[in-house]
Amino acid sequence: MKKIAILGATGSIGRQALDIIEKNPDLFTVTALTAHRDSEQLISLAKKFGAKYVGLTGVSGDIELEKKVPKGVDVGFGIRALVESCAAGNPDIVLIAVVGIAGLPPLVECLEHGTNVALANKESLVCGGHIVKEKQKTSKSELFPVDSELCAVYQCLKGVDTTGLRRVILTASGGPFFDWSKEDIANATVEQALRHPNWNMGKKITVDCATYMNKGLEIIETKWLFDISPEMIDVVVHRQSIIHSMIEYNDGAVIAQMGPTDMRQPIQYAFGHPERLESAVGHLDFASLKSLTFDKPDLNKFPCLRHAMDAISEGGAMPVILNAANEAAVELFLERKIPFGGIEQAVASAMSKFAHLKAGTLLEIYNTDTEVKRFVYNNLK
């Protein structure tokens, strides 16, 4: 029986993770659950799954919530609740499925205490990859990526000889604006940006897919998770999202990981590892797929991908600046305060304005994040 804590339990990944746990009651049990604001759903999930700790991260206290939780369940608030969830009930795995840089403190906490992590949150690695890498040198924690592309690369690279590895090829769905003109994309509405062709995800990552920032963040994740230099990471647009990513050797051999377009697959891989559980989502039927297509990403139409590549090559605080500007700008876009094209502009202007900031230590990362977000909120809405 593995004990699992779920940070961001009310979200897209969180709910799919709970589905896997519900389908495998003999294998998994829940220790802790967190949500940002939805206390009703949090309590109902805690009752259903028998969590002994619940955290509400978006508030600093809630007397009503404390009254409603079942007896014997501990309650925490704010960002501290994320960190406390990593220890409450001694979980074997902590699934970090919150949005944004909020994923970094619990990730560091798990690494420091040798707890295994199923990592869906990508912003934590983008901002603190160098710190994660350093901590991994002495940490007993295993890190399982819960992102279809990263989980694919993990499976392709697992146990193989990487001598002669030529490149890692991340697949991108192309998002909702693949065949739109640059002008139309700049004025796309919130509803249009949220209409992802293949995946049903939280709003922030769905917008990131529409700008291609998501793929940029994944390049940075790949660099830190697998120690692959960014020049060896390519992106190919694959509209069907059946191949989740690939590796290629010098001799031309390519190894791809394919599977149903369903996040429960990487989630169950992370939870079950090293066992392979019976699929919760069915199997591929190749004959009905007919064809798989591949295109080059258009960096002119989707400049966020270029900004992310620039941020990696510049290094230092640049990935933190890129991420902070993007988080703030996506929020403003979802609130209809800036146009879709404003996201890219916010990222570009933050990258040129804040190049002097530092992000060596955790404190510097959080300060840089705060300063860049303040600039975007104050100047671009």
Residues that bind ligand NAD (CB under 6 A): 8-14, 35-36, 57, 97-100, 102, 120-123, 147, 199, 201-202, 205, 263
Q: Which does 83 bind (CB under 5 to 8 A by kind): Mg ion, ligand NAD, none?
A: none
Based on CB atoms, which residue is closest to ligand NAD, 39 or 116? 39
Q: How far is the CB of 204 from ligand NAD (least distance, A)?
A: 6
Q: Which does 108 bind (CB under 5 to 8 A by kind): Mg ion, ligand NAD, none?
A: none
CA distance 363 to 332: 25
Q: How far is the CB of 189 from Mg ion (least distance, A)?
A: 24
Q: Which does 149 bind (CB under 5 to 8 A by kind): ligand NAD, Mg ion, none?
A: Mg ion
Based on CB atoms, which residue is closest to Mg ion, 55 or 175? 175
Q: Which does 201 bind (CB under 5 to 8 A by kind): Mg ion, ligand NAD, none?
A: ligand NAD
Based on CB atoms, which residue is closest to ligand NAD, 9 or 248? 9
Q: How far is the CB of 120 from ligand NAD (least distance, A)?
A: 4
Based on CB atoms, which residue is closest to ligand NAD, 34 or 248? 34
Q: Which does 311 bind (CB under 5 to 8 A by kind): ligand NAD, Mg ion, none?
A: none
Of all residues in the shown chain, the one whose CB is closest to ligand NAD is 11
Instruction: Please list, in sequence order, all residues whose beta carbon lies within 8 angstroms of the beta carbon of residue 244, skipping any fewer than 6 positions away.
Output: 148, 149, 151, 152, 171, 256, 257, 258, 259
Amino acid at 34: T
Based on CB atoms, which residue is closest to Mg ion, 54 or 151? 151
Based on CB atoms, which residue is closest to ligand NAD, 57 or 171? 57
Q: What are residue 113's phi and psi, to 5 degrees? A: -105, 10
CA distance 377 to 104: 22
Q: How far is the CB of 161 from ligand NAD (least distance, A)?
A: 28
Based on CB atoms, which residue is closest to Mg ion, 77 or 226? 226
Q: How far is the CB of 222 from Mg ion (least distance, A)?
A: 11
Amino acid at 141: S
Q: How far is the CB of 103 from ligand NAD (least distance, A)?
A: 6
Based on CB atoms, which residue is closest to ligand NAD, 248 or 307? 307
Amino acid at 120: A
Q: How far is the CB of 148 from Mg ion (least distance, A)?
A: 5
Q: Which does 199 bind (CB under 5 to 8 A by kind): ligand NAD, Mg ion, none?
A: ligand NAD
Q: Which does 11 bind (CB under 5 to 8 A by kind): ligand NAD, Mg ion, none?
A: ligand NAD
CA distance 197 to 179: 12
Q: Which does 12 bind (CB under 5 to 8 A by kind): Mg ion, ligand NAD, none?
A: ligand NAD
The residues of the shown chain that bind Mg ion, judged by CB under 5 A, are: 147, 149
Based on CB atoms, which residue is closest to Mg ion, 28 or 144? 144
Of all residues in the shown chain, the one whose CB is closest to Mg ion is 147
Q: Which does 172 bind (CB under 5 to 8 A by kind): Mg ion, ligand NAD, none?
A: none
For residues 350 and 325, the answer to whether their CB atoms sit within 8 Å is yes
CB atoms < 10 A from the CB of 8, how many? Answer: 27
